[in-house]
Every structure is written in structure tokens, then in C-alpha cells.
Amino acid sequence: MKEYRINNGGQVASGVLRLHHAVSVGIIPMRALTNFSGHIYRTQALLLHLRPLRLSPVVLPLSLRFIAFWCVHWNWLFICDKKFTEYVSGSWWTNAILSAEYYCCYRPNPILQILYLTIVGATYYFTVQSSFAYFPSSYLGIQASWELLFLLTSFSDPGTVKAENVSQYLSAYPYDNIIYSEKECATCRIPKPARSKHCSICDHCVVCFDHNCRWMNNCIGERNTRFFMAFLIWHFILCVYGMVAIVLVLAGRLKELRVIHILTLYDDVESSFRGLAPHAAQWLLSSYNTQILLVVLLVAVSLLMVGFFGYHVKLCFINTTTNETFKWQDYMSLQRKVNEVKASAAALKAGINGLRHESRTPGSKWKSFFRRSPLKDAEVVVRNNIYDKGVIHNLCEVIFPFSSRSSFLQLKSKSL
């Protein structure tokens, strides 16, 4: 394989860029050519295309080694291999950062829970400090209800599959032999029920696995989906309540201080909404900027909550999960490609037969020009979800999951 040089600072050998020892503290910002593992896969055409850019290595001072490692690891800057990474940040820092990353991203931890509670606590503190004197006392009850739902979602069992209950789950959720088939979990070493998935973070199988919510530090599955949905809608109600309460407080301050009257009487402002709105907004931003920022934050969070809640309501209506949505997308995409291949093969066979027929009896060229594409005749892929048994039944299954019913315990004797 040929070697390519970039400003005499490095060379490409066997598809991997290796920097010379003379500039071993350099980095080349070519993020487009890297992947997360640190190895570089590129074609000769890409290298020839990037050669006119004349990318030169940038020498980093030793004080920036820690920042350079993070830039390298998160694929923002390009370096050669692990030895150079250890040279930039040191072997101790490399192991420490990789261990911290593994703990934060791939193991259960309360970091995002603490961050979330800190954000909520700070918002609540600034709301109390700036506007709590105008709020009714029932606001405390709403706050307590939200905390209860947060604890239920975070610490409740999501539907963990164990050797003691696997037979019940196998009877409760039959295989559809489409996206779920009978097999054993390679990690848990127990039969894997339908609609279950092994969570690599929590390290156990969860029935009706939706996703692993890092904000809750828990999986969302069969047993706690109801708590998660209630938390989302209650969080939305809490944000809307706080937003409306602060807006009413600001409107009350405008009325009590007679700001509108002063603007129209002494400042000669036109007494219309278009004329008064900019001046009233300017006064509010200068006098009550904390409340305005709280309103903006609450509006943004409430929109996120209602969007996320609406998405999960749609999933509950058709009795599916986020994980199953991706499975169905992969399955239907594969089936479409298979059907297109079959249709193309049939069309090719028909075309060959047609050419033989036309060679004997030539027909009109316009007829072949307006001929329908064979790909449009491909079989339509239908999503056959056997777990969708109607909206009412699906919602009952979410609110009252199988594992919480008394009949669930009787399934073991039937399956044995």
C-alpha cells in the first residue's frame, strides 16, 4: 500500500496514520476520517481530496494534555494510536479518565439524578425567593406529589426477569416469531421471554424494555412504565402551574404599580397592545429578570415533557415500546429490500421473455415507455403486532401490568 505524507508531519501506512517521533506531541484535526475506536479507515480518493488542504500538526503545551485527551477521545481531534494518547495525557490520567467514563456512561450511577435534583432545587429556590409570597399554599402539595412519582420511577422494579419468574413471563408474553423468537440470554443464562431485552447498564433482562433512563438511574419496563408516564404528565403540570403563576404575578405587579397608566400618561405611549407591549416587556426585563428567565425555562421544559409524554402515549396505544419500534423499523426495512429484490428478479425474467416476444412481433415503443415500474408492484410490508389488542386493553396492560396481577402467579403451574 502506498504511503501518503501530510506536510512531512505524518504518514499513512496500512490505513492508520502514524506521526513521526519529532512531532509526536502534535494533533491533526481531521475528525471526518476517524471513528470512535481510534483507528482510521479511509480510501485513496479521500486522501487525495484532502491533500490540497495541507493540514499541519499543532503542538500542544503540556498544560493542555488533559483537555487534549478528551478532545481526542470524543473524536473532535485526530491522533494516531494509544501510545500517543498515553504520551499526551499520561498513562495514569488515561486509565483514570477511561474508568470515570465507563462509570458515568456504562454503569448505574446517580450523577444525572443529582444533577436533575439540583436543577429542580435551584429553580424552586429562585421561584420561592422571587415570587413565593404571591403563590397559594397548595403549590407545596403539587411539589410533594412530583417527588413521590420521581422516587417510584427511580427505585421501583422495572420488570426484572429472574430464574424465579421467567416461567410466568414466558407464559404471559408469547413469541411472535417476527421480532421475537425463542432463545436464551447469553448473559443471564436463562430463557429470554418475548418483549424483553438485556440492559447492558443494569446487567439484567427487563420485560417490555423501553429504554434505560439515566435521569432516573433505572430501566423503564413493564412494572414502572405507569409511574414514568405519571411523572412526565405531572412534571408538565407542575411546569405549567409555575409558569402561569409567575405570569400572573408579573401581571399583578404591572397593575399594582400602574405601569400602563404611567406609560400612556407621562411617556406619551400609544394606548394599544402594539405600542405598550415593547415598553412593558422592557420594564419587566429590567425589574423582574429572574422571573422572566424562570418563565422561559419552564416553557422549554414543559414543551419537552409534553412532547415526550405524547410520544409514549402513542406507544401505549399500540402496545409497543421504544426498543420494539427500532426492531420493527429494522425488520420492515429488511423486508422491503427483500421484496424489491424479488420484484426486480421477476421483472428481469419478464423483460427477457418480453424481448423474445417483441423480437417475433415488434410492438409500439410508447407502450414500453409508459410501462409501470416493477418496484411499485413489490409486496407491501405490513406490521403485524400480535401484542396490540386494542387501545383499552393496551392501556389496562400498562396501568395494571401482568406481573402485578394475582393471575400472574398461577401461570407458573400451567407452564410447568
The helix or strand, by DSSP H or E, that contains position 106, with its residue range, turns out to be helix 91-106
Decide if 241 contacts 139 (C-beta within 8 A): yes
Backbone angles phi, psi at 28, to 5 degrees: -120, 115
Distance CA 65, CA 332 (A): 47
Give the ranges where 361-385 is alpha helix by DSSP (H). 365-369
Distance CA 80, CA 24 (A): 9
Q: Which of 155, 264, 277 has the alpha carbon at shortest distance from 217?
A: 155
Distance CA 245, CA 139 (A): 10
Decide if 305 contacts 239 (C-beta within 8 A): yes
Q: Can you tell me whether residue 205 is helix, strand or coil?
A: strand
Chain length of the chain = 416
Q: How many C-beta atoms surround the C-beta of residue 172 within 10 A?
A: 22
Q: Which of 210, 208, 220, 284 has the alpha carbon at shortest distance from 252?
A: 284
Give the ranges where 318-369 is alpha helix by DSSP (H). 322-360, 365-369
Q: What is the DSSP string of 129-198?
A: HHHGGGS-TTHHHHHHHHHHHHHHHHHS---B--TTTHHHHHHHS---SSS---EE-TTT-SEE-TTEEE
Distance CA 203, CA 191 (A): 15
Question: 156: which 3 cell numbers?
Answer: 421501583
**How distant, in Å, are the alpha carbons of 82, 301, 328 from that of 297?**
42, 6, 36
Which residues form the catalytic set?
213
Cβ-proximal residues to 95 (8 Å cutoff; 6+ apart), any chain? none
Decide if 98 contacts 92 (C-beta within 8 A): no
Beta strands in 208-296 (DSSP E): 211-213, 218-220
Q: Can you tell me whether residue 300 is helix, strand or coil?
A: helix
